[in-house]
């Protein structure tokens, strides 16, 4: 069994990004759907994270231990660290056009995987991945034949025992981790190929962010739409706050000049963050909470993503028959 457990708190929002929402180095302000507004006990180290979020949870098919943190270390070193410097420069006022190719690629990697790494996506994808793995291995005769073609002779009883030993029915979360690491290059290329603009909050308005880290739109952020994974149903405009005063706008066309950051539009954007968030919203100032009055206790339901994942699971089961 492979064991590389070095950390327990795995960040779905990078610590460097959360630090930008920290008011002058003091405790962070955050909204939890179940309890309302709270002041954090500390900075980003213990916020924007979940215990063993990126650990397999079981001995996975690669032999990694349930608490292995290889995926968390990969995210920190390969995604978050390269993007930290360029994102700080942008949020401090640098022009998007001043970014080098390497810096743009680092930010594209960060934004692309941001859409896959949250606890909400884990909750959506893991069941579908688990169903797919289970479907691909639940026919003992087919599995025995596959092993035989590789020169491995086993009985049907041994096939069942191996299946139980490897926790085949619990491989959904490892499947999500594999999906995230294998598919993020496609998402990154998609982000890299689009138009980027830096948007600044006007006047006393500020952006918040959430455990998803972005809001999406179909035809402009005066009317943002509920979150769905990827570009489902035309969600091709993405807004990613880099700080309370600056956000990266990623679109398939130049629409930055049409994006208003007047108080009404900012309220709509921030309300969408709150509606989409699985559990947490993060803000720098106490001005922000006023836009969250009468929030529902449950987040908006990403129905189209659920339907897509159900289709994936059904297709996996059919192909296994």
Residue 242 included in any domain: yes
Longest dimension (CA), the chain: 72
CA 25 – CA 20 distance, rounded (Å): 9
Average pLDDT over residues 88-96: 93
For tokens 């956000």, what's the residue? 247
> In sequence order, what E strands does the chain have?
9-11, 29-32, 36-39, 49-51, 195-200, 209-210, 215-217, 237-243, 246-251, 280-283
Residue 257 included in any domain: yes
Burial class of residue 321 in the structure, from the number of CB atoms within 10 Å of its CB (0-12 exposed, 13-18 middle, 19+ buried) = exposed
Task: Identify the pLDDT of residue 87.
Answer: 96
3-state secondary structure 83-147: HHHHHHHHHCCCCHHHCCHHHHHHHHHHHHHHCCCCHHHHHHHHHHHHHHHHHHHCCHHHHHHHH
Task: Identify the pLDDT of residue 233.
Answer: 85
Residue 295 included in any domain: yes
CA 243 – CA 19 distance, rounded (Å): 9
Average pLDDT over residues 218-224: 85
Residue 1 included in any domain: no
Question: Is pLDDT at 190 greater than 90 in this prediction?
Answer: yes
Task: Identify the pLDDT of residue 174.
Answer: 80
**Mean pLDDT across the chain, nearest whole number?**
79
More confident residue, 307 or 217: 217
Task: Identify the pLDDT of residue 169.
Answer: 43
Residue 311 included in any domain: yes
* pLDDT cut 90: percent of the chain above it: 32
Residue 253 included in any domain: yes
Average pLDDT over residues 51-74: 77
| Cα angle value 199/204/207 (rounded, 5°) | 45
**Nearest of 237, 211, 233 to residue 224 by alpha carbon:** 237
Question: Is pLDDT at 105 greater than 90 in this prediction?
Answer: yes
More confident residue, 7 or 86: 86
Task: Identify the pLDDT of residue 104.
Answer: 97
Q: How far is CA 50 from the centre of its chain?
A: 13
Query: Helices then strands (H, E): number in the chain?
Result: 10, 10
- Predicted confidence (pLDDT) per residue in 131-170, tens digit: 554 555 555 555 556 556 766 666 656 555 554 444 444 4
Enter the pTM of the model. Answer: 0.80
Residue 314 belongs to what domain range?
Answer: 9-320
Confidence of residue 241 (pLDDT cuts 50, 70, 90): very high
More confident residue, 95 or 175: 95
How many structural domains comprise the chain?
1
Is the distance from CB of 197 to CB of 256 less than 8 angstroms?
Answer: yes
Residue 44 included in any domain: yes
- Predicted confidence (pLDDT) per residue in 197-213, tens digit: 999 988 788 899 999 99
Task: Identify the pLDDT of residue 167.
Answer: 45
Question: Is pLDDT at 187 greater than 90 in this prediction?
Answer: yes
Task: Identify the pLDDT of residue 94.
Answer: 93
Is the distance from CB of 63 to CB of 2 less than 8 angstroms?
Answer: yes
Residue 2 included in any domain: no
Confidence of residue 217 (pLDDT cuts 50, 70, 90): very high
Task: Identify the pLDDT of residue 252.
Answer: 86
């Amino acid at each position: 069994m492979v064991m590389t457990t070095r950390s327990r708190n795995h960040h779905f929002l990078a610590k460097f990004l959360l630090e930008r929402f920290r008011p002058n180095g003091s405790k962070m302000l955050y909204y939890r759907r179940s309890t309302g507004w709270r002041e954090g006990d500390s900075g980003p180290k213990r916020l924007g994270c979940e215990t063993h979020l990126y650990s397999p949870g079981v001995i996975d098919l690669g032999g990694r231990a349930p608490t292995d943190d290889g995926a968390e270390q990969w995210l920190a070193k390969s995604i978050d660290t390269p993007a930290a410097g360029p994102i700080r420069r942008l949020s401090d006022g640098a022009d998007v056009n001043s970014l080098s190719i390497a810096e743009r690629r680092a930010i594209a990697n960060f934004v692309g995987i941001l859409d896959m790494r949250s606890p909400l996506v884990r909750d959506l994808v893991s069941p579908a991945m688990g169903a797919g793995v289970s479907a691909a291995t639940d026919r003992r005769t087919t599995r025995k034949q596959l092993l035989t073609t590789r020169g491995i002779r086993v009985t049907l009883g041994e096939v069942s025992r191996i299946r139980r030993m490897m926790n085949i029915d619990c491989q959904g979360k490892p499947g999500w981790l594999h999906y995230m690491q294998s598919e993020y290059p496609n998402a990154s290329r998609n982000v890299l190929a689009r138009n980027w603009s830096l948007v600044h909050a006007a006047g006393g308005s500020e952006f918040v962010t959430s455990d998803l880290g972005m809001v999406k739109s179909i035809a402009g952020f005066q009317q943002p739409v509920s979150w769905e994974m990827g570009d489902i149903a035309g969600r091709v405009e993405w807004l990613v706050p880099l700080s309370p005063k600056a956000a990266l706008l990623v679109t398939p066309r130049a629409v930055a000049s049409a994006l208003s950051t007047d108080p009404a539009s900012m309220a709509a954007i921030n309300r969408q963050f709150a509606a989409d968030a699985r559990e947490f919203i993060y803000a720098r100032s106490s001005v922000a909470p006023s836009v969250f009055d009468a929030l529902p206790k449950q987040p908006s339901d990403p129905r189209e993503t659920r339907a897509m994942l159900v289709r994936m699971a059904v297709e996996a089961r059919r192909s296994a028959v």
